């Protein structure tokens, strides 16, 4: 199934992660038997499985499932797509927005499929740079448009809650293929995602 709804959890995997979380919580100095924490190992096991559920999903199949022949040759932009991922260094969240554009080459794709592939790649242990390129390459290879552009702006909890503890910094990554490698096309895209015009 290309895009699995996350309602069923594998019981064996959940039990295994649950037991490990019990040890982690105990090692952190807490009492796993106190009322408020009784179900926490299981909740955490399920939460982490959901947050990494992108490994089980095939983003190319999601795009291929909704490609339509259409003779539209101008830029399509989906901006302000919220994303939540986990940094692979600390397994802490990073979150922000993705702005994605493509110029069709005979085929358009169902609009919702773009945020869906963002979620599939975001629900893995990631670095922002690889997340940006995963999305870019998937659209480039699957839809084979005249061009594709991906910009991600994100804040990293590992830099906010711990480490350097910078609350206001954000990181921008970008990738461009095809027509977007030309300055004029790229500039038009960057201007459009910066505007409040929706």
Ligand X SMILES: Nc1nc2c(ncn2[C@@H]2O[C@H](COP(=O)(O)OP(=O)(O)OP(=O)(O)O)[C@@H](O)[C@H]2O)c(=O)[nH]1
Q: Which residues are catalytic?
A: 87-90, 128, 156, 158
Ranges within 121-140 binding ligand X (CB under 6 A): 127-129
Interface characters, 111-150, with Zn ion (x: CB under 5 A): ----------------------------------------
Report CA 76 to chain centroid distance, whole Å.
Answer: 20
Element holding 85 (H helix, E strand): strand 76-87
**132 or 142: whose CB is closer to ligand X?**
132
Provide the 8-state DSSP code for 16. H
Question: 């740079």: which residue's tokens?
Answer: 129
- 146-175: which residues touch Zn ion (CB under 5 A)? 158
Binding Zn ion by CB under 5 A: which of 89, 162, 166, 182?
89
Pairing of strands 76-87, 125-126: parallel
Chain position whose Cβ is nearest to ligand X = 163
x/- letters, 96..125, toward ligand X (CB under 6 A) = ------------------------------
Measured from the CB atom, the residue of 105 and 155 that comes closer to Zn ion is 155
Report d(CA 184, CA 178) in Å as an integer.
12
Binding residue count for ligand X, defined by CB under 6 A: 10
Q: Of the two residues 108 and 136, which places its CB atom closer to ligand X in the complex?
A: 136
Q: How far apart are CA 86 and CA 127, in angstroms?
A: 8
**What separation in angstroms does the CA of 109 have from each of 32, 54, 141, 159, 183?**
48, 20, 13, 36, 25
Q: Which of 64, 90, 130, 133 binds Zn ion (CB under 5 A)?
A: 90
Q: Could you tell me the CA-to-CA distances from 67 to 15, 98, 108 in Å, in that order? A: 40, 21, 6
CA R_g for the chain: 20
User: Does the protein bind ligand X through residue 163 (CB under 6 A)?
Assistant: yes
Smallest distance from the beta carbon of 180 to ligand X, in angstroms?
A: 22
Question: Which residues carry a binding-site annotation for Zn(2+)?
Answer: 87, 90, 158
Residues that bind ligand X (CB under 6 A): 87, 89, 127-129, 156, 158-159, 163-164
């Amino acid at each position: 199934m290309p895009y699995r709804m996350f309602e069923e959890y594998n019981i064996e995997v959940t039990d295994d992660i649950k037991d490990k979380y019990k040890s982690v919580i105990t090692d952190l100095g807490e009492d796993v038997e106190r009322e408020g924490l009784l179900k926490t190992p299981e909740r955490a096991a399920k939460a982490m499985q959901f947050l990494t559920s992108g490994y089980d999903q095939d983003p190319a199949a999601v795009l291929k499932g909704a490609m339509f022949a259409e003779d539209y040759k101008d830029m399509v932009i989906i901006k302000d797509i919220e994303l939540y991922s986990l940094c692979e260094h600390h397994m802490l969240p990073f979150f922000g927005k993705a702005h994605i554009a493509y110029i069709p080459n005979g085929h358009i794709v169902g609009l919702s499929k773009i945020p869906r592939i963002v979620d599939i790649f975001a629900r893995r242990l990631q670095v922002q740079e690889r997340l940006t390129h995963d999305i870019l390459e998937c659209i480039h290879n699957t839809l084979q448009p005249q061009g594709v552009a991906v910009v991600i702006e994100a804040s990293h909890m590992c830099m906010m809650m711990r480490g350097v503890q910078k609350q206001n910094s954000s990181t921008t990554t970008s990738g461009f293929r095809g027509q977007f490698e030309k300055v004029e096309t790229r500039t038009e895209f960057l201007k459009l995602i910066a505007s409040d015009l929706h």
